[in-house]
Amino acid sequence: MNDEQPTIEEFISIDDFKKIKAQIGKVLVAEAVPDSDKLIRFEMDFGEAHPRQILSAIREWYPEPEKLIGKQMLFVINLAPRKIRGLESNGMLMAVDGLDGAPVFLIPDGDVTPGTTVR
């Protein structure tokens, strides 16, 4: 457990926090990115007209990414798009480090509608 408290310079305002758009998405596609040992390419349902592509460097812990299909997970969806290995990523998967160092997903404890916003 991390007991360090942020310094006054590290605090953000509630207005800054409100800028973060975190939503629950449902995994439609999860596949290894060719020529990468780390990346998984997701196509996510956030209740938008088209699936959103997001890349995440979690393949070390999920060598069979197709097992993630159908899961609901938390993502930040309003980060600026970023090109990684020629693919555009439009968000960031949210996870914490498990006791073994593997990512533990932040998931709802019940089904929610894709695109549900964290509040």
Model pLDDT for residues 74-106, shown as the tens digit of each residue: 999 999 999 999 999 999 999 999 999 999 999
Amino acid 7: pLDDT: 75
Residue 42: inside a domain: yes
CATH number for the domain spanning 76: value is 2.40.50.140
Number of domains in the chain: 1
Per the DSSP assignment, residues forming a β-bridge with 82 are 89
- Which residue from 21, 15, 17, 36 is spatially nearest to 85, judged by alpha carbons? 36
Model pLDDT for residues 34-59, shown as the tens digit of each residue: 999 999 999 999 999 999 999 999 99
CA dist 65 and 39 (Å) reads 10
Question: 27: which 2 tokens?
Answer: 């995994």
Q: Which residue has the tokens 């990523």?
A: 89
The whole-model pTM stands at: 0.86
Residue 113: inside a domain: no
> Which domain range does residue 35 map to?
21-105
